[in-house]
Copies of this chain bind each other. A is one copy, B any other.
Amino acid sequence: MAAKVPDTTYAVLGLIDKVPGASGYELVAVAGRSFAHFWPISQTLIYRELDRLTDLRWVARTRVEQLHAPSKWTYHATTAGRQALADWLATPTPATSSFRSGVLLRFFFAYRLHPDQVRSLLADYRSALQTQQEEFVAIMDKLAAVSTPTARAGRLTALHGLRTAEARLRWIEEVEAQLEDDS
């Protein structure tokens, strides 16, 4: 069976499995803090996936009335949902790491730019990467103390981002060195 749904559906399902009893609102926040760096999704999309998951009976939801805040739905994975998640995790990953870089695209056409403009393109890229770098370091610091499997996964995916950013910063150095050589 296995209902052909996008990976995003499993992303949300996985979150619910990790954080049982969360509301849609909370899941949006958690998604923003956890896998946003390698799987960004918007609020609207999450709510749509919650509807889909409910229809699929992969999650069940419960209405919770609150005194000092609006009523909310809380979600938890069903047995079928946990099974679907496990099945999906077990299937070989189609190495579809989709990557689109506006910087590289512009750089590719940089022969239409003044050398100064190219330098400023690289400078912007550098500061964006540095910001990223700091974010990843912050995530790792925050999770450093915690020793749950979940925290470890978070640390390691942050490390992936950090190593990537570092390599790209070194690439900028290489390119800048090359640009100076022939000017």
Among listed A11-19, A21-29, A62-70, interface-contacting one = A11-19
CB contacts (< 8 Å) of A34 on chain B: these are 108
Q: Are A89 and B104 in contact (CB under 8 A)?
A: no
Interface residues of A in 76-108 (CB under 8 A from B): 82, 85-86, 89-90, 92-108
Interface contact A125-B167, CB-CB below 8 Å: no
- Judging by beta carbons under 8 Å apart, are B98 and A100 in contact? yes
Determine if A117 is an interface residue (Cβ-Cβ < 8 Å). Answer: yes
A54 within 8 A of B: no
How many copies of this chain does one complex carry? 2
Binding site for B on A (CB under 8 A): 7, 10-11, 14, 17-18, 34-35, 37-40, 82, 85-86, 89-90, 92-113, 117, 121, 124-125, 128, 149-150, 153-154, 156-157, 159-160, 163-164, 166-168, 170-171, 174-175, 178
24 inter-chain pairs at a CB distance below 8 angstroms, sorted by A residue, are A14-B109, A17-B112, A18-B109, A35-B104, A35-B108, A39-B101, A39-B104, A39-B105, A82-B112, A85-B112, A86-B113, A89-B112, A93-B102, A94-B102, A95-B102, A95-B103, A97-B101, A98-B100, A104-B160, A111-B153, A163-B168, A163-B170, A164-B164, A167-B167
Give 11 new A-B contacts, CB below 8 A, not counting A39-B101, A108-B153.
A7-B105, A34-B108, A38-B108, A39-B100, A40-B100, A85-B109, A95-B128, A97-B104, A111-B150, A159-B171, A159-B175
